[in-house]
Amino acid sequence: MKIQTKLKAIALNTFKEAVRNKIFYLLIAFGVFFAMSSKLVSLLTIGNEAKVLKDVGLASIHFFSVLIAVFTGINLVYKEIEKKTIYNILSKPISRSSFIIGKFIGLAFTLLVALVSMAVIFFFFLFISTGELDSGILIFFLLLYMELLIITAISLLFSSFSTPILSSIFTICIYLIGETLWTFNLFKEYLKTPIDKFAAHFLYYILPNLERFNVKSAVVMKTGIGTFHVLNAVLYTAVYITAVLVLAILIFNKREFK
């Protein structure tokens, strides 16, 4: 069996499992609902209606997309172990590295389907509400997808050696830190010893810098997003995901199943 065929089989099976999960549809529904409820908020707010719609709607989609990435990522590997189906999979000519990579590809495709669905609905809702089609929103969704891929890789990393509850806690904590990583530079100014400053500097570069994907304000205010910024974010995503998946594979290879 070729490695491409193995990855395709695992990815397709992962996608089918994810879309059968009721939580997946529930979170998408909530994301769409809160995005569309921005219309009500705009009616109660003094200001530009289009800006309010985009601000509240995109923030809602971002929040629920992150939840989808976290909770689908942490459950699928654990379910394979809990239901003992991992033995059937690994008894075939499928390596553990192919299993992790295949899971990631399947989850990445699942997130793409969810995000495209929400994007289409949001674009349609924005157009019928304001008559506006802002191409900058496409960049928002592209960078949001990059962020979700990093979160998914991190959730897979934790699920490769931990339980769903701990994995969700770890992943959410890393996500929150990643969104406020800029504070590490401020925090370093208050540190006294060189080793403390080195530790803060080290963590700044090891932890995911998710703030670089946050372009909602630029999209809402139409201040423009540079091509270099987008390319830099895509490159950062590729490098970070590769590093996290390699670490997940190393840990998963050493894990013993009983």
pLDDT digits (tens, 9 = 90+) for 232-252: 999 999 999 999 999 999 988
**Contacts (Cβ under 8 Å, ≥6 apart) of 37:** 56, 60
Q: Which helix (H) or strand (E) holds 177?
A: helix 164-179
> Look-up: residue for tokens 């699920």?
159
Task: Tell me how many degrees the CA angle 178-96-146 measures, rounded to the nearest 5.
Answer: 30
> By C-alpha distance, which of 124, 137, 156 is closest to 14?
156
**Contacts (Cβ under 8 Å, ≥6 apart) of 96:** 90, 249, 252, 253
User: How far is CA 1 from its chain centroid?
Assistant: 31
**Per-residue tokens: 187:** 């925090």
> By C-alpha distance, which of 32, 33, 48, 60 is closest to 220?
48
pLDDT score of 14: 79
| 75-128 pLDDT tens trace | 777 776 666 666 676 667 677 788 888 889 999 998 998 888 888 888 887 787
| 44-58 pLDDT tens trace | 555 566 777 788 788
pTM exceeding 0.85: yes
Q: Average model confidence (pLDDT) for the chain? A: 81
> By C-alpha distance, which of 170, 185, 205, 202 is closest to 73?
170
**Per-residue tokens: 81:** 């172990």
| 144-200 pLDDT tens trace | 999 999 999 999 898 888 888 888 899 999 999 998 887 777 777 777 778 877 877
Residue 236: Cβ-neighbour burial (10 angstroms; 0-12, 13-18, 19+): middle
**Per-residue tokens: 230:** 């987008």
